[in-house]
Amino acid sequence: MIPPATDHGPLTTVSVEFYGIPRERAGVAVTTAEGVCLGDVLADLCARFPRFAESCVADNRLRPEYAANLNGAQFVKSPETKVGPGDALLILSADAGG
């Protein structure tokens, strides 16, 4: 079965792990989300975790006090950042990274 498409292309599932305040607001440590870019993933998370949305996301971006790390390799901010099958996204307080 082909996944539904967004304006950016076919959806993919990524794993998401929350740390610190994002974990507290989401109410879970680990979940999955769908999308083809960071903005899609955040929109999916916001739809399912309203407290996370209210506290951590504004204008389809993480608020400046939060950070997202893709695959342990790079910190990403742009909603247009592409994600792919098997990708792992870590969402944490920006000061938690040291």
Q: Indicate whether 51 pLDDT > 70.
A: yes
Q: What are phi and psi of 52, to 5 degrees?
A: -60, -45
pLDDT of residue 87: 97
Residue 71, CB-side half-sphere exposure with 13 Å CA sphere: 8
pLDDT of residue 94: 87
Q: List alpha helices for the chain, DSSP H.
A: 21-26, 38-48, 50-56
Q: Please, which pLDDT band fits residue 5 given cuts at 50, 70 and 90?
A: very low
CA distance 41 to 53: 12
pLDDT of residue 1: 36
pLDDT of residue 63: 97
Task: Give the mean pLDDT of the chain.
Answer: 90
- Provide the residue ranges of all domains of the chain, joining segments of one domain with +: 5-97
* CATH 3.10.20.30 is right for the domain spanning 5-97: yes
